[in-house]
Amino acid sequence: MTGTGSKFSSGPDRPIATSTPVGDEVKYTTCYMCACRCGIKVHLKDGALRFIEGNRDHPVNGGVLCAKGAAGIMMQNSPARLTKPLKRVGERGSGEFEEIEWDEALAIATDWLGRIRASDPRKLAFFTGRDQSQALTGWWATQFGTPNYAAHGGFCSVNMAAAGIYSIGGSFWEFGEPDWDRTRYFMMFGVAEDHASNPIKIGLGKLKQRGAKFVSVNPVKTGYSAIADEWLGIAPGTDGLFVFALIHELLRAGKVDVDYLARYTNAPWLVIRDDGAADDGLFARDSDGNPLCWDRDRGACRKALTADVAPALKGTYTLPDGRQGVPVFELLAERYLDPQYGPDAAAAVCGIPAATIRRIAAEIAHAAFEEEIVLDLPWTDWTGRRHEKMIGRPVSLHAMRGISAHSNGFHTCFALHILQTLIGSIDTPGGFRHKPPFPKHIPPLPQPAGWYGEVQANRPLPGPPLGFPTGPEDLLVDPDGSPRRIDKAFSWDAPLAIHGMMHLVIANAWRGDPYPIDTLFMFMANMAWNSAMNTAETIAMLTDKDAETGDYKIPRIIYSDSYFSEMVAYADLVLPDTTYLERWDCISLLDRPIGDADGPADAIRQPVIAPDRDVRPFQDVLIDLGARLGLPDFTNDDGSPHYPGGYADYIVNHERKPGIGPLAGWRGADGDQEGRGPANADQLAKYIENQCFWRQELAENQKYYKAVNRDYLAYAAEMGFIDRPEPIIIQLYSEVLQKFRLAARGHGPVLPPEKHRARIETYFDPMPFWYPTFADAAADAGDFPLHAITQRPMAMYHSWGGQNAWLRQIHGSNRLYIPRGLAETLGLDNDDWAWVISRHGRVKVRVRPMSGVNPDTIWTWNAIGKRAGAGNLSPDSPEAKEAFLLNHLIDELLPEEAGAYRYANADPVTGQAAWYDLRVRLEKALPEEAGETVPQFPTLKPPPSLATPPAVLRYGARAAKGGRP
């Protein structure tokens, strides 16, 4: 494993740069216009920003730069940039702020937070949006001692992450990728253009060059789907049944990789069949806890993880204790060969003809088994068995929020991994590949902290607030079963909420359910607008007061953002952040790394220009607050700050474990160690010298079969990716889920309260199953016959570019895209006005009929609508008057049923927000209703000293005349 260079070549196919220099200096850093973290070169002239181009040597993008990345220039020129700390002096939402100095702002925050920490740290709810410093923010929460911490994952794609981590030890995007160079058949499910954006574009280009087939499964034919070889316009929320039908067909035809299943998965592990017993459905194990299988050669139970075992995949066997045991594969075949999972049953629900499903299954089988890849690469598995070749099944899948953000998303995502595993395409040539530091053991460490007795005044938590439960004992519940976290993550409401449930924080805090909080501390999370379900009511909750005391029900709100977003108006204390071009950052292997399947990588951002406002990087502020509060890792014994140099100091000198810190490159006193090693004072300089990234290339024999590859496992343990060099066996059947199910049946030390039992019993099925989304199954679903979803465009990342002068020209307003057949039925034409009505609310919008959309689905671009005044835009901007959000139609809770407990509008396993379960009906608006979108809210007043926006924001005009840009 050597090298810190790019995986992209720079041979003769790389053309000579022909553009003339536009500046006098170039600095490398990492883009932050979406979540992909491409490498960029920033051209400066006289110290001012002039031009951004992609870094051709960078491992993420190889020089590719999207529209958003190029438009980073206009984030720096945005009149929405906050300029100074703000203290609220009027009512929340009034926009009445007083500018204050940083000392006062930090003193206020320290006072509020210090009092909480000295009494009950749970009274702090600290949640961040799509920030890229979760290794720091999570650590800070741990040191503070509050379990009430998470980032945005609970309302993004936690179903995808959890289903992957609990089955294959990894997942898509940051955790894994298709083998772009070898795959022959690629299927993409519900992917927006921001999840691995440039890497996917590069990968799709490779597929097109090689003639590999690309099938896109998405209700809408836009973005990547538009260039697919085959588009399947599936009904939202039914992907799981489609995948099960493919599994059904593969099983029926016997097109599964038996050797792969027997060796590298738990397919042969014996499951105890003993109705009513406390261990019914768990794995049969020996006295040392080793899972057992049935050895066909010896006619006896043996340790499943034995090199010379010949495991049975089918049948029923007598266990050593006389009870019956069944191999996982037998259970799996029994379930998915049932006609309810066949193509005919699926076709009616998914809107994909049965013949198409059968053909797709046959194509998968053909690519996997008739186009098998054999690499002359000897490797050794964990038992010491030497394999002369690497066998590959060139079928790969990729999926993200589209299938994830449903109330059946966890099981759908789990099903995708079953499909890949059955054909032997997990981390084999041509298939899905893990990216180091993944795969991890299943489930990985740690378990979530914040358990009963672990939250104490002035004490850190004994571990991080987010983790991976192994069973009911790891839940964060009080002895009576009630949730210990404000968002109810890791409770019986959502036991595997491994990314938290940010979408519930404000509503729960407002209700005081499960308890009231004191301070809500948020960073770049626009919860008063596009990040909230139920936007109007969320605003009402943020401003609601206790009738008796006159105090806000959420007493204090601290918010940090770079820009005047809608949420700023509702904060009591605003801590203005810098732009991404003005600060240090760290894209760490401890967080969500940027490596690829051939090797781990991490990166930094360096300040390429200095702020021209009185703003500070949020990470610096957090570290400063940590020192002022006396948090252990942020303070020396004498009370002085442990990281006086702020985040840059922390990045270099913090050690999470001995020798393991935020950055893996150039460790050790001489900078010659990788992965592990003492801190190196010159580490950041080394990164800058290497264009702000570090990457290590795996040895050839480590690149595939990582989960069971002896050499890779040893390397991963040495690097600190895993804690022991033991095999990671794919879990087709999840014993963790079964433990929860057994608790629902009354077994074990931690039992769910009665009201949760039926739900836990149903959804904690150890093998994935399909059920309609809660919205589709609702009694009134017929009143709302259409699915309503959003897509994210290539040129806008959520609301981040909403005040970017260049990106606004591409997406300044949005329309509701509707199927042509529906348009004809309702008499709607381009730009006509219509009402979209859900159970929860109504919005008035302009429509645009289109082909290429599922006939029962309407959709729009995400987060284009803005509240009037937000982003320092003109109150009559198109974003305010023509654009709209679907958020107003969505409730954060499931509908009220008489006497029933109201669960979150979320997946019951992980708590993933069910954004795409929305059902609506469409009605043509009356002619007199044309005019502007509804709802409209009072115009937000910009904070003092925000720049006065010009009528037309131009960039470069002065530079063209020889002046500063």
Binding site for ligand SF4 (CB under 6 A): 31, 33-34, 36-38, 61, 65-66, 68-69, 197-198
- Select from 294, 296, 284, 286 the least CA-distant residue to 323: 284
C-beta of residue 590 within 8 angstroms of C-beta of residue 662: yes
In the bound complex, what is the minimum distance in angstroms from residue 200's beta carbon to ligand SF4?
9
For the CA atoms of 512, 516, 517, 522, what is the dihedral angle to 10 degrees? 0
Nearer of residues 864 and 909 to ligand SF4, judged by Cβ: 864
In the bound complex, what is the minimum distance in angstroms from residue 796's beta carbon to ligand SF4?
10
In the bound complex, what is the minimum distance in angstroms from residue 110's beta carbon to ligand SF4?
34
Helices (H), 555-700: 618-628, 646-653, 683-689
Helices (H), 77-121: 102-119
C-beta of residue 526 within 8 angstroms of C-beta of residue 799: yes
In the bound complex, what is the minimum distance in angstroms from residue 903's beta carbon to ligand SF4?
35
Task: Determine the 3-state secondary structure of 821 from DSSP.
Answer: helix
Nearer of residues 53 and 614 to ligand SF4, judged by Cβ: 53
Nearer of residues 405 and 587 to ligand SF4, judged by Cβ: 587
Nearer of residues 581 and 663 to ligand SF4, judged by Cβ: 581
DSSP letters, 693-755, are EEE-BPPGGGSSSGGGBHHHHHHHHHHTSSSS-----B-SS-HHHHHHHHHHTT-SSS---HH
Nearer of residues 266 and 799 to ligand SF4, judged by Cβ: 799
Q: How far is it, in rounded angstroms, from Cα 137 to Cα 623?
A: 9
DSSP letters, 338-391, are SGGGSHHHHHHHHSS-HHHHHHHHHHHHIIIIIS-EEE---EEBTTS-EESSEE
Nearer of residues 519 and 691 to ligand SF4, judged by Cβ: 691
Based on the number of CB atoms within 10 Å of its own CB, is 549 exposed (0-12), middle (13-18) or buried (19 or more)?
exposed
In the bound complex, what is the minimum distance in angstroms from residue 327's beta carbon to ligand SF4?
44
Other Cβ atoms within 10 Å of 302 Cβ, number: 18
Q: How far is it, in rounded angstroms, from Cα 183 to Cα 392?
A: 9
Nearer of residues 61 and 447 to ligand SF4, judged by Cβ: 61
For the CA atoms of 312, 315, 316, 319, what is the dihedral angle to 10 degrees? -10
DSSP letters, 414-433, are HHHHHHHHHTT-BSSTTSEE
Nearer of residues 802 and 949 to ligand SF4, judged by Cβ: 802
Phi and psi (nearest 5°) for 213?
A: -85, 140
In the bound complex, what is the minimum distance in angstroms from residue 550's beta carbon to ligand SF4?
45
- List the beta strands (DSSP E) in 147-252: 149-150, 176-178, 185-189, 213-217, 230-232
DSSP letters, 439-491, are ---SSPS-PPP--TTT--TT---SS-S-----SGGGS-B-TTS-BSSTT-BTS
Nearer of residues 63 and 444 to ligand SF4, judged by Cβ: 63
Rg of the chain on CA atoms, in Å = 27
Nearer of residues 225 and 804 to ligand SF4, judged by Cβ: 804
Nearer of residues 224 and 269 to ligand SF4, judged by Cβ: 224
Query: Taking CB positions, which residue lies at the least distance from ligand SF4?
Result: 69
785 cis-preceded (ω within 30 degrees of 0): no
Nearer of residues 37 and 285 to ligand SF4, judged by Cβ: 37
For the CA atoms of 919, 923, 924, 930, what is the dihedral angle to 10 degrees? -70
In the bound complex, what is the minimum distance in angstroms from residue 575's beta carbon to ligand SF4?
25
Residue 510 Cα distances to 145, 191, 344, 770, 794, angstroms: 22, 34, 47, 35, 36
In the bound complex, what is the minimum distance in angstroms from residue 154's beta carbon to ligand SF4?
22
Nearer of residues 159 and 197 to ligand SF4, judged by Cβ: 197
Other Cβ atoms within 10 Å of 345 Cβ, number: 18
Cα first-last separation, the chain: 44
Nearer of residues 132 and 578 to ligand SF4, judged by Cβ: 132
Nearer of residues 43 and 406 to ligand SF4, judged by Cβ: 43
In the bound complex, what is the minimum distance in angstroms from residue 581's beta carbon to ligand SF4?
12
Residues 6+ apart with CB under 8 A from 740: 471, 472, 495, 760, 764
Nearer of residues 245 and 864 to ligand SF4, judged by Cβ: 864
In the bound complex, what is the minimum distance in angstroms from residue 72's beta carbon to ligand SF4?
7
In the bound complex, what is the minimum distance in angstroms from residue 417's beta carbon to ligand SF4?
26
| Cα dihedral sign, 339-344-350-356 | positive
Nearer of residues 157 and 773 to ligand SF4, judged by Cβ: 157
Q: Which two three-digit tokens encode residue 710? A: 């002896």
DSSP letters, 232-301, are E-PPTT-HHHHHHHHHHHHHHTT-S-HHHHHHHBSTTPEEEE-TT-TTTTSBPB-TTS-BEEEETTTTEE
In the bound complex, what is the minimum distance in angstroms from residue 795's beta carbon to ligand SF4?
9
Let me know how long the chain is: 965
In the bound complex, what is the minimum distance in angstroms from residue 33's beta carbon to ligand SF4?
3
Residues 6+ apart with CB under 8 A from 155: 405, 501, 502, 503, 531, 912, 913, 915
